[in-house]
Amino acid sequence: MPISNINPSVKFDPLSVSPRNPGSLSLLKEQNQVSFEFNVVETGQNLLHYQYILQEYRNDWGPASVKKSATYGDIHEGEYQFKIKAKSPEGVWSEPIVYKFTVLPPWWRSWWAILSYCLMILSAVWLTRNQIVKRERLRNEIKLKRLEAEKYHELDALKSHFFANISHEFRTPLTLLLSPLEKRLSLANTPDEKAELGIMHRNASRLLNLVNQLLDLSKLESGSLKLKTVFGNLNTFIRSVSSQFSSMAQSRSIQFEVVSLSQVDGWFDPDKLEKILVNLLSNAFKFTPSGGSIGIRITSDDTCAKVEISDSGTGIPADKINHIFDRFYQVDDSNLREYEGSGIGLSLVKELVELHHGTITVSSNPGEGSCFEVKFPLGNKHLSDTEISEVSELKPGSHMRLSESSATHKHTPDEEIPRVLIVEDNEDLRNYLLLSLRDKYNLIEASNGQQGLERAVLEIPDLVLSDLMMPRMDGLQLCREIRKNEKTSHIPVILLTAKTDQETKIDGLEIGADDYLAKPFQLPELTARIHNLIESRKKLRKLYTSTLILKPSDIKVNSLDDRFIKKVMGSIEAHLSDPTFSVEVLADEVAMSSVQVYRKLKAITGQTPNDLIRNIRLERAASLLIQHAGHVADVAYMVGFTNLSYFAKCFKDKFQKSPSEFLKKNVTV
């Protein structure tokens, strides 16, 4: 008597759901009431008794009953087994049948929800750890930067202290140099002596000015440089300071003017303002070419004074204009920079302007010029009691003595005196070398490498003395170009430089420099090296003269100078019988001017072109006479002589015998 059917019903208010496939069921948490209906296959008049159990909900069988349904409510999530058995009228129980179903947990307790919770917890832990690590790293970086800043500050303080100490040490010997120089300068009798002493005084003053700037920077850093303002007329003061640049403007044909659009009276520090103006004007004159213009424009409003200093100089590139006030910064730090500078002046200007409670700005267009604008308040409300001086009278400090143009001295032209080309962009050093060497050499000067190369090609000097760091073309490139050019390849080159590293020296020697002298140099050493190089070239001339033979094809070509001699010999050989052959024709055939051929041949062989042509003809004449190629007259015509008496005279001067005597004795050369 098996139970034929079990139909479970799932009830949750207010619905009841009966599954289509009884035997398995998955219910949601909200579906927490289940009813089962069942019957048996047999039908009869006797009533059957049923007994059932819902495991995991109740652990014991319920009492036997004739009821054909079972209901369970408030079922929690989990897996359940409903078991039922029936008892026949005879009292025999059937085997129980089982119906399994599952009540699912709520979504927030499902496996994927728990997995999400775990992932969220792990992510939170990971993020928290990262934040802690980042915070700790940031704390360490801040601590490290603070330590580095403190160390840099200490190092800057040590450097400033060192510069201050050594600057003080420099001031004493500089003072001892300047005072006697001023005395000697006032007593100098000759222009040469005045020029030489003037160079010394200007450069000693410049060095003293640099030392003073270092001291001012040190005082600014330490806070010991204080503002001391007085009340006065700004227009008069600026005109007084700028007047010291008038002679420089006049000597260089620079249009220089000061324009006051209004009378400006106010409080300012004369010493600080003078240093600001002098540095800005010096900078303007340094970068403005001859024939340019420089102007100062003074304006004001009720509270502020504005001073504009503009020039028509080289200008500043846009990518570098933000750095020009950085200490020791130079717009051009290459070997080709055209203007000298230490990078201190503009940095000091900015510091002094800010000390004066003002601002400085710059605008510039490359190739058109620059304009520096300085603004500072005129009143005294912004000044502390210590920044106001008790002295009201303006006394501008002693102005720096500006360089005056020195005359270039040259030796009286003489072809027997060696010609030396001096290529140096520093005018004072160039003038000093000209004054020092003029008694021994014919001197040519150039202010940059490009100009030096042009002068070398045009003048064909016996030696080139060149600085290494110059505008437009540096000394290394100049030496390289001299060696590449057939017209100048024979000229010895001495390089002067302040760069004493071994690599630079090797570079100079490898490209063909004959000597290398570091600055500062001793004049006797320089003159000795010039003398030795020129003398060595004289010995080389004798070597060329003694080895010149009549057949140019026999000359071994191993340098530009050898190739030049080969071309010269070939040209002379080709025109040996031509009486009209001249230096001009020779110059055309070797692609040089007559002057260049003359100087290069003189430098290499010690002979002028005419002497060389005549000697080659006489050498060929002697060879022809030895070979009995003809009578004396015939031989003379063969080698380009049309005047027999002149031929005889030249032949006797060279061989100490007349052509006929030479022929009779058959003397070989």
Neighbours of 272 (CB within 10 A): 23
Instruction: Please say whether the beta carbons of 96 and 84 come within 8 A.
Output: yes
Please state which of the ranges 127-141, 177-191, 243-257 shows the lowest mean pLDDT. 177-191
What is the C-alpha separation between 364 and 372, in angstroms, rounded?
Answer: 9
The residues facing 81 across adjacent strands are 55, 100
Residues 137 and 105 in one domain: no
Residues 154, 160, 165, 170, Cα dihedral to 10°:
150
Return the closest-CA partner of residue 613 out of 655, 558, 572, 555: 572
589: in domain:
yes
Residues 144 and 231 in one domain: no
Instruction: Please enumerate in sequence order all residues whose Cβ is within 8 A of that of 525, keeping only pairs 6 or more positions apart, or say none.
Output: 517
What is the C-alpha separation between 259 and 296, in angstroms, rounded?
Answer: 6
Of 387, 402, 427, the position where a domain reaches its end is 387
Note the residue count of the chain: 669
| pLDDT digit string, tens, across residues 152-185 | 777 766 766 666 666 656 665 776 677 677 777 7
Kindly tell me the burial class for residue 433, based on how many C-beta atoms sit within 10 Å of its own C-beta (0-12, 13-18, 19 or more): buried
Number of domains in the chain: 5
527: in domain:
no
Neighbours of 228 (CB within 10 A): 15
| pLDDT digit string, tens, across residues 373-414 | 999 888 788 888 777 776 554 544 433 333 333 333 444 445
Site of tokens 């999530």 = 77
- Domain span at residue 451? 419-520
Q: What are phi and psi of 619, to 5 degrees?
A: -60, -45
Residues 239 and 366 in one domain: yes
Of 74, 89, 109, the position where a domain reaches its end is 109
216: in domain:
no
The yes-or-no verdict on residue 50 having pLDDT over 70 is yes
CA 420 to chain CA centroid, nearest Å: 34
Residues 361 and 230 in one domain: yes
State the pLDDT at residue 175: 63
Region 292-304: mean pLDDT is 87
Instruction: Please say whether the beta carbons of 621 and 659 come within 8 A.
Output: yes
Q: Check: pTM over 0.75? Answer yes or no.
A: no
State the pLDDT at residue 160: 63
Residues 382 and 272 in one domain: yes
E strands of 359-448, at which residues? 359-365, 369-377, 419-423, 442-446
Q: What CATH code is carried by the domain that includes residue 561? A: 1.10.10.60
**Between the ranges 24-33, 119-128, 174-183, 578-587, where is the mean pLDDT highest?**
119-128
What is the C-alpha separation between 629 and 621, in angstroms, rounded?
Answer: 9
E strands of 269-378, at which residues? 293-300, 304-311, 359-365, 369-377
Across the chain, which distance is largest between two alpha carbons, in Å? 180
Residues 231 and 379 in one domain: yes
What is the C-alpha separation between 499 and 488, in angstroms, rounded?
Answer: 26
Residues 249 and 378 in one domain: yes
Residues 510 and 557 in one domain: no
Residues 322 and 266 in one domain: yes
What is the C-alpha separation between 438 and 429, in angstroms, rounded?
Answer: 14
| pLDDT digit string, tens, across residues 246-266 | 878 887 889 999 888 878 888
Residues 81 and 102 in one domain: yes
Q: What CATH code is carried by the domain that includes residue 42? A: 2.60.40.10
402: in domain:
no
Return the closest-CA partner of residue 98 out of 10, 24, 40: 24
- Report residue 342's pLDDT band, with 50, 70 and 90 as the boundaries: very low
The yes-or-no verdict on residue 421 having pLDDT over 90 is yes
540: in domain:
no
State the pLDDT at residue 410: 43
537: in domain:
no
Residues 505 and 629 in one domain: no
Residues 242 and 353 in one domain: yes
- CA 194 to each of CA 45, 174, 189, 198, 205: distance values in angstroms, whole numbers, following the listed order: 155, 19, 7, 6, 16
- Report residue 24's pLDDT band, with 50, 70 and 90 as the boundaries: low
Of 209, 238, 266, the position where a domain reaches its end is 209
DSSP annotation of 397 = P
395: in domain:
no
Position with higher pLDDT, 630 vs 115: 115
The yes-or-no verdict on residue 491 having pLDDT over 50 is yes
Q: What CATH code is carried by the domain that includes residue 470? A: 3.40.50.2300
Residue 243 corresponds to which amino acid?
S
Position with higher pLDDT, 502 vs 368: 368
| pLDDT digit string, tens, across residues 640-668 | 787 777 887 888 777 777 777 777 765 54
Burial 578-611 (b: 16+ CB within 10 A, else e): eeebebeebbebbebeeebbbbbbbbbbbbbbee
Instruction: Please say whether the beta carbons of 620 and 572 come within 8 A.
Output: no
The yes-or-no verdict on residue 207 having pLDDT over 70 is yes
233: in domain:
yes
Residue 164 corresponds to which amino acid?
A
Q: What CATH code is carried by the domain that includes residue 321? A: 3.30.565.10
Q: What percent of the chain has pLDDT over 70?
A: 77
- Report residue 341's pLDDT band, with 50, 70 and 90 as the boundaries: very low
Q: 291: phi > 0 → left, psi -120 to 50 → alpha, else beta; which? A: left
